[in-house]
Structure 1
Amino acid sequence: MLIPIAGELVTETFDSDSGRQVTVYVPRDAPEAVVLAGDGQLISHWGRYLETADAPPTMIVGAYRADDEEEWVASVSTWNWVAAAYQITSRTIT
């Protein structure tokens, strides 16, 4: 049984990075932490568990697996997109 979420899951497909997809769990409240990880098709959905834990609002950014296993899982363009789309800066995160 899936736990309903108060936050939102957003998926983006980049023109660069060979069309890489990224799914972001956006918490209902402004994030106090950001986790940038691989296996976005799996890990971004873990946000629902953070909602029920005694944890600060945490954004999870999951870059999908690349066809080339040698490719870095979370590229600079992934972070740049998240920072721009959600106004995340080092000052945003405490």
Structure 2
Amino acid sequence: MRASTVEGKNVSPSAAYSDRGELTADLITEPAAPDIVPMKRGTPDEPAKQIQTFTREELESIADNEGIAGLRVIGNQVGVKAKGIVEMIEGILKAQGGE
């Protein structure tokens, strides 16, 4: 069984390989590249969202009630990751700029 287009052109890989000699650089048209649009740089117009700061006592209370999962929610907001509760509290306090 041979695969062919409606026009009768053979679409097998061997036919494409044998037709490679018919293609020349003059027949190839390269699409035009889109215009370059300058990127917007700088800070956004809206003010930066304030991140709530926590004291050591508040973080320890959250750890008592919700465990490390509650601290991880806060840690994700400030970019802190840790495996233990003590390390997580220390990291959050350090990321906030101390106690």
Please indicate the TM-score interval, normalised by the length of the shorter structure: under 0.3
The higher relative CO (CA closer than 8 Å, separation ≥ 6) is in 1
Higher helix share: 2
| TM-score computed with the length of structure 2 as normaliser | 0.23
Higher strand share: 1
| TM-score computed with the length of structure 1 as normaliser | 0.23
